[in-house]
Amino acid sequence: MKKNAFTILELLVVLAVMGVFTAIAYPNISNWIAERNVKKEAYEVITYLKERKNDVQSGKYGMVQVVMNWRIHTYKMTNEDFFKEYKDISTNSSYKSNRTCGHQKPNSFTNDASLNFELGSGNPDSNVNVYPSASHPSPRNASVICITKDGSIRYDNNTPINVNETDPATGKKVDYFLLCSKSNSTMQTCKAGAQLDYIYKITWDRFVNTKLYKYNKKKNSWMKIDG
Protein backbone atom coordinates (compact mmCIF):
# COMPACT_ATOMS: atom_id res chain seq x y z
CA MET A 1 0.00 0.00 0.00
CA LYS A 2 1.38 3.37 -1.02
CA LYS A 3 1.74 6.13 1.55
CA ASN A 4 0.45 9.61 0.67
CA ALA A 5 3.37 11.97 1.16
CA PHE A 6 4.91 15.06 -0.40
CA THR A 7 7.91 14.57 -2.61
CA ILE A 8 10.86 16.93 -2.33
CA LEU A 9 9.85 18.47 -5.66
CA GLU A 10 6.32 19.14 -4.41
CA LEU A 11 7.67 20.77 -1.23
CA LEU A 12 9.97 22.97 -3.29
CA VAL A 13 7.03 24.07 -5.45
CA VAL A 14 4.98 24.94 -2.37
CA LEU A 15 7.86 26.94 -0.87
CA ALA A 16 8.37 28.77 -4.16
CA VAL A 17 4.68 29.70 -4.32
CA MET A 18 4.77 30.90 -0.72
CA GLY A 19 7.87 32.97 -1.48
CA VAL A 20 6.20 34.65 -4.45
CA PHE A 21 3.07 35.34 -2.40
CA THR A 22 5.13 36.83 0.43
CA ALA A 23 7.11 39.02 -1.96
CA ILE A 24 3.87 40.39 -3.41
CA ALA A 25 1.93 40.73 -0.17
CA TYR A 26 4.64 42.07 2.17
CA PRO A 27 4.91 45.57 0.66
CA ASN A 28 1.13 45.98 0.75
CA ILE A 29 0.99 44.86 4.37
CA SER A 30 3.87 47.18 5.31
CA ASN A 31 2.17 50.11 3.57
CA TRP A 32 -1.09 49.37 5.35
CA ILE A 33 0.64 49.25 8.75
CA ALA A 34 2.52 52.53 8.16
CA GLU A 35 -0.68 54.25 7.01
CA ARG A 36 -2.68 52.91 9.94
CA ASN A 37 -0.11 53.98 12.52
CA VAL A 38 0.03 57.60 11.33
CA LYS A 39 -3.76 57.83 11.09
CA LYS A 40 -4.09 56.43 14.61
CA GLU A 41 -1.78 59.07 16.10
CA ALA A 42 -3.51 61.82 14.12
CA TYR A 43 -6.81 60.89 15.72
CA GLU A 44 -5.11 60.78 19.13
CA VAL A 45 -4.00 64.40 18.62
CA ILE A 46 -7.53 65.41 17.60
CA THR A 47 -8.91 63.69 20.69
CA TYR A 48 -6.38 65.55 22.82
CA LEU A 49 -7.51 68.91 21.41
CA LYS A 50 -11.16 68.04 21.94
CA GLU A 51 -10.44 67.10 25.56
CA ARG A 52 -8.71 70.44 26.21
CA LYS A 53 -11.64 72.26 24.58
CA ASN A 54 -14.06 70.32 26.79
CA ASP A 55 -12.00 71.31 29.85
CA VAL A 56 -12.75 74.96 29.04
CA GLN A 57 -16.36 74.45 27.94
CA SER A 58 -17.14 72.61 31.17
CA GLY A 59 -15.77 75.50 33.23
CA LYS A 60 -12.77 73.59 34.56
CA TYR A 61 -10.45 76.34 33.28
CA GLY A 62 -10.96 79.87 32.02
CA MET A 63 -8.54 79.29 29.15
CA VAL A 64 -5.96 76.74 28.06
CA GLN A 65 -3.07 77.12 25.69
CA VAL A 66 -1.96 74.09 23.69
CA VAL A 67 1.51 74.14 22.14
CA MET A 68 1.76 71.81 19.15
CA ASN A 69 5.27 70.40 18.95
CA TRP A 70 6.95 66.99 19.17
CA ARG A 71 5.81 67.31 22.76
CA ILE A 72 2.26 68.63 22.80
CA HIS A 73 1.84 70.42 26.11
CA THR A 74 -0.80 72.54 27.76
CA TYR A 75 -0.79 75.67 29.88
CA LYS A 76 -3.93 76.33 31.88
CA MET A 77 -5.50 79.45 33.39
CA THR A 78 -8.06 79.45 36.18
CA ASN A 79 -11.45 81.07 35.73
CA GLU A 80 -10.46 83.70 38.31
CA ASP A 81 -7.23 84.56 36.50
CA PHE A 82 -9.00 84.67 33.15
CA PHE A 83 -11.51 87.19 34.54
CA LYS A 84 -8.68 89.25 35.99
CA GLU A 85 -6.63 89.20 32.78
CA TYR A 86 -9.39 89.89 30.26
CA LYS A 87 -12.51 91.22 31.97
CA ASP A 88 -11.52 93.10 35.12
CA ILE A 89 -11.87 96.85 34.47
CA SER A 90 -8.79 97.50 36.61
CA THR A 91 -6.60 95.42 34.28
CA ASN A 92 -4.77 97.31 31.55
CA SER A 93 -2.68 95.15 29.23
CA SER A 94 -2.11 94.64 25.53
CA TYR A 95 -3.44 91.10 25.84
CA LYS A 96 -6.72 92.43 27.15
CA SER A 97 -7.07 95.26 24.64
CA ASN A 98 -6.03 93.11 21.66
CA ARG A 99 -7.91 90.01 22.84
CA THR A 100 -4.80 87.89 22.37
CA CYS A 101 -2.51 85.55 24.25
CA GLY A 102 1.20 85.04 23.71
CA HIS A 103 3.32 81.95 24.12
CA GLN A 104 2.88 81.18 27.84
CA LYS A 105 1.45 84.69 28.19
CA PRO A 106 -0.17 86.28 30.18
CA ASN A 107 1.93 85.17 33.11
CA SER A 108 -1.03 83.62 34.92
CA PHE A 109 -0.73 80.56 32.67
CA THR A 110 0.67 77.52 34.48
CA ASN A 111 2.09 74.41 32.85
CA ASP A 112 0.49 71.04 33.59
CA ALA A 113 3.11 68.39 32.84
CA SER A 114 0.55 65.64 33.45
CA LEU A 115 -1.08 66.66 30.15
CA ASN A 116 2.10 66.29 28.07
CA PHE A 117 1.57 64.19 24.95
CA GLU A 118 4.84 62.91 23.48
CA LEU A 119 5.17 62.43 19.74
CA GLY A 120 7.95 62.07 17.19
CA SER A 121 11.48 62.42 18.52
CA GLY A 122 10.12 62.80 22.05
CA ASN A 123 8.72 59.28 22.11
CA PRO A 124 10.55 56.22 20.73
CA ASP A 125 7.22 54.36 20.71
CA SER A 126 5.64 56.98 18.46
CA ASN A 127 5.45 56.11 14.76
CA VAL A 128 5.42 59.70 13.49
CA ASN A 129 7.55 62.75 12.90
CA VAL A 130 5.71 66.05 13.11
CA TYR A 131 5.76 69.57 11.72
CA PRO A 132 6.05 72.21 13.03
CA SER A 133 8.45 71.13 15.75
CA ALA A 134 11.60 72.22 17.52
CA SER A 135 13.47 70.00 15.05
CA HIS A 136 13.01 72.71 12.43
CA PRO A 137 14.66 76.16 12.35
CA SER A 138 13.10 78.93 14.44
CA PRO A 139 10.65 80.66 14.37
CA ARG A 140 8.59 77.85 12.89
CA ASN A 141 9.10 75.47 15.79
CA ALA A 142 5.58 75.10 17.16
CA SER A 143 1.95 76.07 16.68
CA VAL A 144 0.06 77.64 19.56
CA ILE A 145 -3.67 77.42 20.24
CA CYS A 146 -5.51 79.59 22.80
CA ILE A 147 -8.81 77.94 23.74
CA THR A 148 -11.68 79.85 25.36
CA LYS A 149 -15.40 79.18 25.59
CA ASP A 150 -16.30 81.66 22.86
CA GLY A 151 -13.13 81.61 20.78
CA SER A 152 -12.61 85.31 21.50
CA ILE A 153 -8.90 85.10 22.33
CA ARG A 154 -6.49 84.50 19.48
CA TYR A 155 -2.80 83.72 19.56
CA ASP A 156 -0.73 86.85 18.81
CA ASN A 157 1.47 84.83 16.39
CA ASN A 158 4.63 86.47 17.65
CA THR A 159 7.13 83.78 18.64
CA PRO A 160 6.75 80.99 17.70
CA ILE A 161 4.96 81.78 14.45
CA ASN A 162 2.15 79.36 13.61
CA VAL A 163 2.05 77.71 10.20
CA ASN A 164 -1.22 78.30 8.41
CA GLU A 165 -3.05 77.96 5.12
CA THR A 166 -6.37 78.86 3.56
CA ASP A 167 -9.23 76.46 4.21
CA PRO A 168 -10.55 75.51 0.74
CA ALA A 169 -14.13 75.30 2.02
CA THR A 170 -14.34 78.58 3.96
CA GLY A 171 -11.58 80.69 2.42
CA LYS A 172 -10.39 81.56 5.94
CA LYS A 173 -6.95 81.05 7.45
CA VAL A 174 -6.49 77.96 9.59
CA ASP A 175 -3.42 76.66 11.41
CA TYR A 176 -2.18 73.14 10.78
CA PHE A 177 -0.04 70.29 12.11
CA LEU A 178 1.55 67.55 9.99
CA LEU A 179 2.20 63.94 10.98
CA CYS A 180 4.55 61.85 8.81
CA SER A 181 5.52 58.20 9.15
CA LYS A 182 8.92 57.48 10.66
CA SER A 183 9.17 54.66 8.10
CA ASN A 184 9.90 57.10 5.27
CA SER A 185 10.66 60.48 6.88
CA THR A 186 13.04 62.16 9.30
CA MET A 187 12.51 65.02 11.74
CA GLN A 188 13.78 67.38 9.04
CA THR A 189 12.02 65.96 5.96
CA CYS A 190 8.59 66.02 7.58
CA LYS A 191 7.75 69.60 6.67
CA ALA A 192 5.51 71.87 4.63
CA GLY A 193 5.56 70.84 0.98
CA ALA A 194 6.86 67.33 1.65
CA GLN A 195 5.71 64.86 -0.99
CA LEU A 196 5.75 61.61 0.95
CA ASP A 197 3.40 58.72 1.47
CA TYR A 198 1.56 58.42 4.80
CA ILE A 199 1.23 62.13 5.67
CA TYR A 200 -1.79 63.37 7.62
CA LYS A 201 -2.67 66.99 8.30
CA ILE A 202 -4.80 68.40 11.12
CA THR A 203 -6.24 71.90 10.75
CA TRP A 204 -8.19 73.99 13.24
CA ASP A 205 -9.90 77.36 13.40
CA ARG A 206 -10.16 79.81 16.32
CA PHE A 207 -12.98 77.71 17.82
CA VAL A 208 -10.79 74.58 17.61
CA ASN A 209 -13.01 72.95 15.00
CA THR A 210 -10.67 70.36 13.53
CA LYS A 211 -10.39 68.75 10.12
CA LEU A 212 -8.22 65.81 9.11
CA TYR A 213 -6.64 65.42 5.67
CA LYS A 214 -4.66 62.63 4.02
CA TYR A 215 -1.98 63.35 1.42
CA ASN A 216 -2.26 61.59 -1.94
CA LYS A 217 1.25 61.42 -3.34
CA LYS A 218 0.20 60.26 -6.82
CA LYS A 219 -2.16 63.22 -7.25
CA ASN A 220 -0.05 65.60 -5.13
CA SER A 221 -3.19 66.70 -3.34
CA TRP A 222 -4.92 66.55 0.03
CA MET A 223 -8.15 64.65 0.66
CA LYS A 224 -10.34 65.53 3.64
CA ILE A 225 -11.33 62.43 5.59
CA ASP A 226 -12.87 63.92 8.72
CA GLY A 227 -14.31 67.21 10.00
pLDDT number for residue 171: 96
pLDDT number for residue 208: 95
pLDDT number for residue 4: 58
pLDDT number for residue 175: 95
* Stretch 166-188: mean pLDDT: 95
pLDDT at 42 over 90: yes
* Stretch 80-84: mean pLDDT: 96
Of all residues in the chain, the percent with pLDDT exceeding 90 is 70
pLDDT number for residue 141: 74
pLDDT number for residue 56: 97
Residue with the larger pLDDT of the pair 13 and 185 = 185
pLDDT at 20 over 80: no
Beta-carbon neighbour count of residue 10 at 10 Å? 10
Tell me, letter by letter, the H, E, C secondary structure of the chain. Answer: CCCCCCCHHHHHHHHHHHHHHHHHHHHHHHHHHHHHHHHHHHHHHHHHHHHHHHHHHCCCCCEEEEEECCEEEEEEECHHHHHHHHCCCCCCCHHHHHCEEECCECCCCEECHHHCEECHHHCCCCCEEEECCCCCCCCCCCEEEEECCCCCCEECCCCCCCCEEECCCCCCEEEEEEEEECCCCCCCCCCCCCCCCCEEEEEECCCCCEEEEEEECCCCEEEEEEC
Beta-carbon neighbour count of residue 2 at 10 Å? 4
pLDDT number for residue 159: 82
Look up the pTM and report it: 0.85
Report pLDDT digits (tens) over 112-167. 999 999 888 778 999 999 999 887 766 567 889 999 999 999 999 888 888 899 99
pLDDT at 179 over 60: yes
Report pLDDT digits (tens) over 96-106. 999 999 999 99
- Cβ proximity of 43 and 212 under 8 Å: yes
pLDDT number for residue 17: 73
- Give the HSE-up count for residue 109: Cα atoms under 13 Å, Cβ half-sphere: 21
